[in-house]
Amino acid sequence: MYILAIGWLYVTVLVAVNEPSIVAGIISFMFYGLLPCSLLLWLGGTKVRRQRRAHRESLANQHLDDGDRSDTRADQ
């Protein structure tokens, strides 16, 4: 997915360079390149972010459970 984003940004940079003014180039790069690419990468990374959050929560739960096991030992 990153190769598509890099290719698309390259094309939009070339389009922005060919604009008649600097302001038009910046606007075309922002609206044709940067905003759609950032949206694509954000939507594409949703599953990975969800998996990372679930993994962090499971690690936190395991850490809490490890502390509770020491209290459940039988009295000697």
Tell whether pTM > 0.85. Answer: no
Instruction: Give me the half-sphere count of Cα atoms (radius 13 Å) on the Cβ side of residue 66.
Output: 6
**How far is residue 1's CA from residue 63's CA, in Å, rounded to a whole number?**
35
Count the Cβ atoms, other than its own, within 10 Å of residue 38. Answer: 11
Tokens of 59: 């690690």
Read off the pLDDT band of 22 (50, 70, 90).
Answer: very high
pLDDT one-digit tens code per residue, 60-74:
888 777 765 555 565
**How far is residue 54's CA from residue 39's CA, in Å, rounded to a whole number?**
23
Residue whose tokens read 């940079």 = 13
> What does the pLDDT average to over 29-41?
94
